[in-house]
Structure 1
Amino acid sequence: MFDKYDNRIPFLELPNISIKINCPNSTRIIINHCSPSISIDKLGLVIEDLVIESSDLDNIRPSYDATMVLSLPENSHLDIPIKVLPGSVQDFTVQPENFEKQLIPGTIIKDLNLELFDAYGNHVQENEKVGFSVDGFCWLDRSFSSKKVDAFGCIDLCGLLRVTGGYGRNVSLSICSNKESISRVWQIEKRQLRISSQIPESCFAGSQLEHLEFEVVNSKGEVDVNFHDEDETGQSHTLVIKSQSQFMDIEDSVKYVFRQGRCLVRAVPVPLETGEFTFVAAHSGCPDLQLTLKVLIEPHSEMEPQPLNIRHSLNAISFMESETPITSKSPQQFTPEKMDICYAESRLLETDRESFREFRKDLEDDIHEIGLRIGKVEAEIRWLEDEQRQIEVNLSELEGIRDQILGIDSYGSLGKNRILTRVESKSDCAASLVMKHLKGMRDQDRCGLMGNIIGIVALLGTTPTFELSRLFSEYLGDQMLAVVCKHYEDVRLLESYQKNGKLNPDFALHMFARKLGQSINGRYLVLCIEDIRACEVDKDVEGKLLFPDPTLPNGSTPAGFLGYAVNMINIDADHSDTKTDSGCGLRETLFYRLFGDTQVYETRDDMKRAISCIKDGAISMDGGILRGNGAVSLGCLEPDIVFPVVPAKNRLSESDMRLLKRYRELKLELKETIAMLVKKNKSRESDLKRFKERRDLYARYFTPRDLETCL
């Protein structure tokens, strides 16, 4: 307390005080407990153990500003500005509410948002870091372990988790904050594999079990029609048959497809030996879905059994004039259509007229169904081709304006043509061959495996000045010509090796080099962005990484510090949307891998004075280079391969931003349309191949007039 002359007055006794907290937006805050006391020197009033409760803090987020009013005797009061922050995570909810419907083994969870609350039901404060542990799931990003809460008190996990648990198993997601763990447990819906056709208790040795129909049912006994083998959605639902008899070897690489929850196995060969024959029918992707079947094998009473060698029949038939037999070392997607061929051979040998008529009808139905499907797919292809042409027209109209806004020439960023020409002129360089190959690729090829080859480092970034371009290129050295691809598996598109470990010169990039009269000397670097551990630092609205400024021992920022190299390089406009499967861009993957925490300073002297806070290295604008960990680059170099230069522009107008947004949307639409077109063409080729197989098989046994009637 103070008198009117601002002299401090000691407290003679503990005064009667009341505490109230005022907040905007009618936020109600209750003071549940406090312990006031007088300091030892009697000059101060100490308030301890103040317990505040409120469930309305969302009304004052994100600032959480409030005022604590301390009322003293004689109508005096003191207003103290405070912040009332929510507590740590005590509960969370999962959106959407029907999240369990996404729990299908092997699939990626496409829609999952967590809403986090404290003990009083307030959303958790923005940027609070939350750890995760999962059971029955796996992270698509292997480095993922924690994430920060967004401005709405939520965490977006869309597209980050894959279901690994089996049908009927429990899966769980736990969040950890302040050493507390909160879990949610779900059960994947139960599924059961059963046989719907009748199996005889016994059969003759050397015969076969025919027309075995299996189905997948839910807990209510209803057939799950979602068990449908579909290439377009990436869901594989197939059945395999495995023999448990030492006298019978069934081709377990043969797979039978599920259609609308049902799978038909035309024939299962029975061994020649008498006794109990046991075999297992199992889902190829979900081993929990399996069924063990037993049949008693009896000796044939009239004649010596003649076994049907299914494997021999398969090898004897050559689909589409192929000379490659189906063996256990060459797994096949063994559909009911292909099984019909073996079925026809065996039935014709037995001259079973009823089965022959049934085979003919099945064949006619298949030909008719495949023909209709081909017609439908061709109509979809024509529509997609028209859509592609229209999008390309719209893009060409916007491209000129977009180039003016961003300062882009006909190939890309300003100076990019010149850099590309320099790269292509290096006749013994892998980067030269990659760029020539990418330049000649069609859009359809970019949606295939070769689309995973992104480019080379030098052409994936730009700088605002030539000085930065030269310095960054000198700092990276040979890494400027490193080839960048999506996955580690894509490396096989560039090289393959013989059995003795030596390079195969007749494959991939080396074969392409030989066609152009070039060669690749020595080794070259390949960077796979999916396998780079992304930087987990937050980003600003421009996508720059929010690193704290370096600090000297006295707590100040070093003089001459300009920023971090990874933030001073810009992503090339054509690759601004290039991301990993988990949504990470080139800055936090590729360029953070190359530059790390490298700092940029005005002069060498500034850099030397800041050496105590330099970890990964530093560059000065007058040419100095520190490599970090005691290494310094001396001398001078004028690199011929540098980053293209795109001068910094003033802030874009709203109309320019709308145009660029529309351009990006059209580019994405074009990419999706071409990808769908590639899928539809593959589907059409597959159906045409199947149609020819069925048609040729029909022609072997029936007249052309019958075939015309069928069509």
Structure 2
Amino acid sequence: MASPPLPSQIVGFNCKVMEEELQRLCLQGSHHEDNIRFLKSEIDALEVVCADLRTKLGKYHSSMAAVVNNDTSAQEAEQRTIQSILDQDKTVAAVICQLKVRHYERASKTPVMKDILGFVATLGKVNDDNLSRLLTEYLGMDNMLALVCKTYDGVKGLEKYDKDGIIDKSGGVYELGRLFGKFLDGRFTVFCLESSRPFSGEVDIDDPQRKLILHRPRFPGGESPPGFLGFAVNMIHLDREHLSCLTASGHGLRETLFYSLFSHLQVYKTRADIQHALPLINDGAVSLDGGILRPNGSFFLGDSKKLEVRFPVSLEVSGLPENITEMEEQVKLKSWEKERCLEDMRREEDLLKHVQELYSKQKKELMNYLTNAAVAQTQSVSPMIGSQATPGSNPFAAKPSLKR
């Protein structure tokens, strides 16, 4: 017949059972925490979608009120920008612009012109005058007047060099200047779409403007900074002809040119909003009241300069989906999905709290059990450890001698 387990074996077995229960509770708690994180990310994504839809709806309604019976507003804004470029006398931009606008037939036959897409100032529009002024001031006149070429071959065609590497001013863009009596001198900027490093993230293919999918800045608690309006690269409106302009690798103007110019530049309502969000700003920020923060941490202070060339300001709504009713239904649907996620998250938080309470209780029971077992073991062993005999006692239970 097997002997009964020793007290130490019983204690060890019970401890193992209780520890396994603690591990099970720990895993269960981790599962609930993972669910909460997932639901929180889903809620954040739904908030972004809803905010974007509401912004588009707001722009649609305000724009419709502003441009009723005024279909030429976009063309007029673009013409003003073109004229401001033509006014920049003795610049490469003015020469190229004059050739493209006033001598179209000659431009179409000139090899150097075939690869030139346009200028930074004419390739995008914005829907706010303040934003136009700020983004122009942020980029500077050299960038606003910069030529944009599709390929590197187009860039090479702008200048010719002699055998000593000296610029041959009888060829390339300098030859074009002489056609109009302009003797060009000095530096000028050219962007090459083919050579630029494109945005490495994803593009929203469902958006008519093919905006970049960028994550809104958020504080550790998950809330967005007050006054945040969006990213400058996504606030540039591209005409349909420019939306269809892609590099050989399939990247558009937003992913190449405008991302290289603005990167993750953030747009806020006020300077105070920028100050509040400083820990979340890595690639600079601008505010509609004139604040400019460069990516290197330097602030632009003082009054704004009068800018000769700016992005055209247009209230056109061609970039918005036509089915406004469908957009409004989408807002309702996404809001309902968000409420469901919030309910699921609250349920997961309650379950997590319950598991944490059980874990705490189980851990306390284990500690009490170990303490009581240790005390019991001490009490059972202590009488066996050479205790002194009291007078008249016989610790060895020996029978008293009957002899005298």
Q: TM-score range by the shorter chain?
A: 0.5 to 0.7
1:619–1:626 contact (8 Å) kept in structure 2: yes
Per the alignment, do residues 408 and 643 of structure 1 end up closer, same or farther by CA in structure 2, a change over 3 Å counting? farther
The answer for the alignment partner of 2:315 in structure 1 is: 647
1:462–1:569 contact (8 Å) kept in structure 2: yes
- Using the TM superposition, give the Cα deviation of residue 566 of structure 1 relative to its aligned residue in structure 2, in angstroms: 0.4
1:429 maps to 2:96 = no
Per the alignment, do residues 612 and 605 of structure 1 end up closer, same or farther by CA in structure 2, a change over 3 Å counting? same
- Using the TM superposition, give the Cα deviation of residue 556 of structure 1 relative to its aligned residue in structure 2, in angstroms: 2.8
- Alignment partners' CA distance in 2, 1:432 and 1:515: 13
TM alignment of 1:193-592, pairs within 5 A: 409=72, 413-439=75-101, 440-442=103-105, 445=108, 450-478=113-141, 479-540=143-204, 541-542=206-207, 543-592=210-259
Per the alignment, do residues 417 and 44 of structure 1 end up closer, same or farther by CA in structure 2, a change over 3 Å counting? same
SS of corresponding position for 1:513? helix
- Using the TM superposition, give the Cα deviation of residue 405 of structure 1 relative to its aligned residue in structure 2, in angstroms: 10
- Alignment partners' CA distance in 2, 1:462 and 1:647: 9
Considering Cα pairs closer than 8 Å and 6+ residues apart, tell me whether 1 or 2 has the greater RCO.
Answer: 2
- Using the TM superposition, give the Cα deviation of residue 551 of structure 1 relative to its aligned residue in structure 2, in angstroms: 2.3
- Alignment partners' CA distance in 1, 2:242 and 2:185: 29
- Give a deviation string over 1:503-561, Cα, whole Å, max 9, x none: 21111211111120113231000000110010011122221111111123444321111
Per the alignment, do residues 593 and 44 of structure 1 end up closer, same or farther by CA in structure 2, a change over 3 Å counting? closer
- Give a deviation string over 1:447-496, Cα, whole Å, max 9, x none: 96632111100000000111111111111112100100012221232111
2:99–2:107 contact (8 Å) kept in structure 1: no
- Using the TM superposition, give the Cα deviation of residue 609 of structure 1 relative to its aligned residue in structure 2, in angstroms: 1.2
User: Percent of aligned pairs with the same residue?
Assistant: 36
1:416–1:459 contact (8 Å) kept in structure 2: yes
Q: Which has the higher strand share?
A: 1
- Give a deviation string over 1:206-255, Cα, whole Å, max 9, x none: xxxxxxxxxxxxxxxxxxxxxxxxxxxxxxxxxxxxxxxxxxxxxxxxxx
2:196–2:260 contact (8 Å) kept in structure 1: yes
1:408–1:414 contact (8 Å) kept in structure 2: no
- Give a deviation string over 1:100-131, Cα, whole Å, max 9, x none: xxxxxxxxxxxxxxxxxxxxxxxxxxxxxxxx
- Using the TM superposition, give the Cα deviation of residue 408 of structure 1 relative to its aligned residue in structure 2, in angstroms: 6.0
The amino acid that maps onto 2:122 is L
The answer for the alignment partner of 2:274 in structure 1 is: 607
- Give a deviation string over 1:357-379, Cα, whole Å, max 9, x none: xxxxxxxxxxxxxxxxxxxxxxx
- Alignment partners' CA distance in 2, 1:483 and 1:536: 24
2:100–2:107 contact (8 Å) kept in structure 1: no
Per the alignment, do residues 499 and 547 of structure 1 end up closer, same or farther by CA in structure 2, a change over 3 Å counting? same
TM-score, normalising length: structure 2: 0.59
SS of corresponding position for 2:163? coil
2:107–2:113 contact (8 Å) kept in structure 1: no
2:146–2:189 contact (8 Å) kept in structure 1: yes
Per the alignment, do residues 43 and 570 of structure 1 end up closer, same or farther by CA in structure 2, a change over 3 Å counting? same
- Alignment partners' CA distance in 2, 1:438 and 1:622: 36
SS of corresponding position for 1:512? helix
Per the alignment, do residues 617 and 47 of structure 1 end up closer, same or farther by CA in structure 2, a change over 3 Å counting? closer
Per the alignment, do residues 446 and 560 of structure 1 end up closer, same or farther by CA in structure 2, a change over 3 Å counting? farther
- Alignment partners' CA distance in 1, 2:287 and 2:260: 20
The answer for the alignment partner of 1:10 in structure 2 is: none
2:148–2:192 contact (8 Å) kept in structure 1: yes
- Using the TM superposition, give the Cα deviation of residue 434 of structure 1 relative to its aligned residue in structure 2, in angstroms: 1.4
Q: Which has the higher helix share?
A: 2
1:624 maps to 2:286 = no
- Give a deviation string over 1:160-202, Cα, whole Å, max 9, x none: xxxxxxxxxxxxxxxxxxxxxxxxxxxxxxxxxxxxxxxxxxx
SS of corresponding position for 1:619? strand
Which segments of 5 or more consecutive residues in structure 1 lack a partner in the other structure? 1-36, 50-81, 83-403, 656-711
- Give a deviation string over 1:634-692, Cα, whole Å, max 9, x none: 2221212011112153844369xxxxxxxxxxxxxxxxxxxxxxxxxxxxxxxxxxxxx
1:414–1:645 contact (8 Å) kept in structure 2: no
SS of corresponding position for 1:415? helix
1:427–1:519 contact (8 Å) kept in structure 2: no
Per the alignment, do residues 424 and 42 of structure 1 end up closer, same or farther by CA in structure 2, a change over 3 Å counting? closer
Quick check: 499-508 or 599-608, which moved more? 499-508
- Give a deviation string over 1:393-420, Cα, whole Å, max 9, x none: xxxxxxxxxxx9997649x644101111
Per the alignment, do residues 631 and 48 of structure 1 end up closer, same or farther by CA in structure 2, a change over 3 Å counting? closer
The amino acid that maps onto 1:502 is I
- Using the TM superposition, give the Cα deviation of residue 499 of structure 1 relative to its aligned residue in structure 2, in angstroms: 1.7
TM alignment of 1:72-91, pairs within 5 A: none
1:459–1:572 contact (8 Å) kept in structure 2: no
Per the alignment, do residues 43 and 457 of structure 1 end up closer, same or farther by CA in structure 2, a change over 3 Å counting? closer
2:112–2:172 contact (8 Å) kept in structure 1: no
- Alignment partners' CA distance in 1, 2:224 and 2:197: 28
Tell me which structure has the larger Cα radius of gyration. 2
- Alignment partners' CA distance in 2, 1:47 and 1:514: 79
For 2:305, which of 637, 647, 657 is the aligned residue? Answer: 637
- Alignment partners' CA distance in 1, 2:107 and 2:79: 24
Which segments of 5 or more consecutive residues in structure 2 lack a partner in the other structure? 1-15, 29-34, 36-66, 325-404
- Using the TM superposition, give the Cα deviation of residue 433 of structure 1 relative to its aligned residue in structure 2, in angstroms: 1.1
- Alignment partners' CA distance in 2, 1:528 and 1:601: 30
SS of corresponding position for 1:628? coil
1:452–1:490 contact (8 Å) kept in structure 2: yes
1:407–1:414 contact (8 Å) kept in structure 2: no
- Alignment partners' CA distance in 2, 1:492 and 1:511: 14
- Alignment partners' CA distance in 2, 1:42 and 1:488: 67
- Alignment partners' CA distance in 1, 2:148 and 2:22: 69
SS of corresponding position for 2:117? strand
The amino acid that maps onto 2:88 is K
Per the alignment, do residues 425 and 45 of structure 1 end up closer, same or farther by CA in structure 2, a change over 3 Å counting? closer
SS of corresponding position for 2:217? coil
- Alignment partners' CA distance in 2, 1:470 and 1:633: 14
- Alignment partners' CA distance in 1, 2:173 and 2:100: 12
- Alignment partners' CA distance in 1, 2:72 and 2:251: 27
1:529–1:590 contact (8 Å) kept in structure 2: yes
- Using the TM superposition, give the Cα deviation of residue 590 of structure 1 relative to its aligned residue in structure 2, in angstroms: 0.1
